[in-house]
Structure 1
């Protein structure tokens, strides 16, 4: 080490090699002073190069462009700095993070937390490079953006309670339904809340004579001036129309005839006479239901004339399920006009069945309304359905504010996997961790109303969901 050092030194001072210089180098190899100076100079060089590397790594880190992913207000955020190319860089502190509710952990070099507000700011990274007394402390500026939660961009203006046909922005109910439970919630959509408009959806459930019960939902047309009143009247009037013991006595008798006749022919070869009897009893049931729906249409027309408005100003869809438990199972009488589904999930076997006709598909997406005279045509009977089930785990009615974001297409309404996903969502498997607890159903109506506030891009309609369980 000393010989190499002396030869490099002779070259640096332009001392030509020769016998004298070679002998001098040989004598100095064991000179204590020369050995001490050699070690000191080599150590100084190492120290100098280490300082260079420290400054060089510092400058390289300062020049490196670090792009932090944008955060979203009120959404969990996490970012891990990758310092693998900068082994001597240590980030001590990041200032200004507290302005948005985030924090920095120096040990893991990680930013985390839930931003409290939307903001654009410069973060100040205080970092060091090197060891101990040679350590440098520097500052690096990094721009950071917290975007607004899309939900925050929607205003929530109260509707005018003094307007004609004013209605609450939300509604909820929980109770019993036959020997089961029922929960219903209805929430004004963001599009209506943004403009301070009313909720057009409505629901009504009633306990009726002779152990019948009914649940009805309606979705008022957004284009109709007073559809909020139309949906309210449609659900309330149809429910009240069956609050008639004479009518329900006749309906019960016809249903017993139907169940008895249909039960004796199930799974057997049937004669045309037997099939005719089943069809006769089925027709008599549908005729009773038809009269109530027709009467509702007439009442809506009378109301429009009295108020000096057009019937189409009350345009609304309507679905209902009229249910009674007989000795041989649950009989569900259903009706639907529009694009809101009525579905049942049976318990044994575990399967799904859509109980009403939706006005989509062949109609090219054109929704029909109970206020339209043209629905009362020869195919009106197809809007009614009669179904018997030994038992069921869920009976679900929903408006398209639920159907569109959660099922998207009609064929998924009879897809068990799609329903499993839906109920998992209700059980809390969603980004809001909103849960409807059907086992411990204390204040379940509040849980369901909160769940209705889910975010779905492009789906901001009123939402109404009824579940019998």
Structure 2
């Protein structure tokens, strides 16, 4: 302050009279008013510096912000602990991405609609700025693409040989229970515009029998879609045989009521074997008629032929390939696998119903062991699925026998998933479409066709 007073006095004192100069200087330096002005000036300088320092520091600071994901809920709160006087006002154009900003909490939230790489314009002011001047800061922001959007969905041409729809679903009764089935083309097929190779068939048969059959056409087979369709439809059709089913019911009753049950089990399996053998002949005839090879029709096949008797539900199952059939106990504390899979212990390669070698009792899985007879007083749910479900949801065969894995699966069906997609078994008026939507789940590395049947 003394330097400032000296400078002013030097300009005022035209005649250099040291005595006057020094006297005035001493009076001013010791003046209370001048000391007050000096303090005020110091405060003004300090506040101006602090304000500009905070603004420039904030402008230059790296302000990290987490990436968003398209079609996923997003929430991010800026951490301004190091900038206590900075106040964010707004962020421009967030609404273009389906997001909004709350200046009271410094939070961006919403569900972005599309992928983007952009720079956000943050408008702010500094509380120590009397004018509250609005300033702008740019920060990079990325919205990652939904992995599903990276896959094309090219319809399978309707004029193609052996055309089938890209998806199918139904809800119906099954014995005294209900059934929902859905089948969806895998992303790998959709991306290339090729066909869904999975298929299914539900039929209500004489003598109160019902059948549900699923098939997964081999990806390597040119007309796997035809093979899967023929396998499921033919087996359901050939079992629609009233004399056969009446006799089958009698043998089932004898199996569960006679002291010596083995002969009746043998008859049951023998009769079912004959029907499956007829399917083998049918597929050979189809190949010959269509002038294609039997390998062109390669497909797996599973089915459950079911009836409720006074002594419980009887499930006659068959399977070739890697598609499981499992039943959950009424209280959902136990799970039972009802068929053998051509994986794990039997891992010599996927087997298909179109392979003549599987029909031998000297095969890796003796053919008779592909049939099974099961009885349950009651059950909660019966599942049949292709590997498009089994692989991403269970991973390995051992998990099919772990009730914890099934509890996780049930929670997934109930909506505990990334898409919040729910299959409602209580209010089931829309259950077929719900299951079809659920089948669209994302699982990295799993893009096969998906087919799931649930009896509940």
Q: What are the within-5 Å matches in structure 2 for residues 181-192 of structure 1?
A: 181-192=178-189
Change (3 A) 1:64 1:7: closer
Once the two structures are overlaid, the 10-residue window that deviates more, 346-355 or 434-443, is 346-355
Instruction: Tell me the equivalent position of 2:216.
Output: 219
Instruction: Tell me the equivalent position of 1:333.
Output: 316
Scaled by the length of structure 2, the TM-score of the pair is 0.92
Instruction: Tell me the equivalent position of 2:434.
Output: 447
Q: What are the within-5 Å matches in structure 2 for residues 119-198 of structure 1?
A: 119-131=116-128, 133-198=130-195
In 1, distance between residues paired with 2:331 and 2:107?
Answer: 51
Q: CA RMSD in A?
A: 2.2
Which of these residues, 382, 393, 407, is aligned with residue 369 of structure 2?
A: 382
Instruction: Tell me the equivalent position of 2:12.
Output: none
Deviations 1:307-350 (A, max 9, x none): 11000100000000000111111111000000000001121584
Deviations 1:225-267 (A, max 9, x none): 0000100010010011110011112111111110112xxxxxx
- Partner of 2:58, secondary structure, is helix
1:241 is aligned to 2:228: no
Once the two structures are overlaid, the 10-residue window that deviates more, 371-380 or 105-114, is 105-114
1:285 is aligned to 2:268: yes
Once the two structures are overlaid, the 10-residue window that deviates more, 328-337 or 107-116, is 107-116
Unaligned runs of 5+ in 1: 14-23, 262-273
Scaled by the length of structure 1, the TM-score of the pair is 0.89
Q: Is the 8 A contact 1:96 1:122 kept in 2?
A: no
- Partner of 1:133, secondary structure, is coil
Q: What are the within-5 Å matches in structure 2 for residues 188-337 of structure 1?
A: 188-261=185-258, 277-337=260-320
In 2, distance between residues paired with 1:398 and 1:440?
Answer: 23
Q: Is the 8 A contact 2:332 2:380 kept in 1?
A: no
Report deviation, 1:138.
2.0
Which of these residues, 348, 351, 354, is aligned with residue 368 of structure 1?
A: 351
- Partner of 1:362, secondary structure, is helix
Instruction: Tell me the equivalent position of 2:338.
Output: 355
Change (3 A) 1:310 1:143: same
In 1, distance between residues paired with 2:129 and 2:118?
Answer: 32
In 2, distance between residues paired with 1:306 and 1:127?
Answer: 76
In 2, distance between residues paired with 1:309 and 1:337?
Answer: 22
Deviations 1:126-151 (A, max 9, x none): 11113352534322111212221111
Unaligned runs of 5+ in 2: 10-22
Q: Is the 8 A contact 2:115 2:145 kept in 1?
A: yes
In 2, distance between residues paired with 1:435 and 1:421?
Answer: 14
In 1, distance between residues paired with 2:40 and 2:192?
Answer: 76
How many corresponding residue pairs? 437
Q: Is the 8 A contact 1:402 1:465 kept in 2?
A: yes
Which of these residues, 48, 51, 58, is aligned with residue 51 of structure 1?
A: 48
1:91 is aligned to 2:88: yes
In 1, distance between residues paired with 2:229 and 2:398?
Answer: 29
In 1, distance between residues paired with 2:200 and 2:385?
Answer: 10
Change (3 A) 1:448 1:365: farther
In 2, distance between residues paired with 1:352 and 1:98?
Answer: 48
Q: Is the 8 A contact 2:178 2:455 kept in 1?
A: yes
Report deviation, 1:284.
0.6
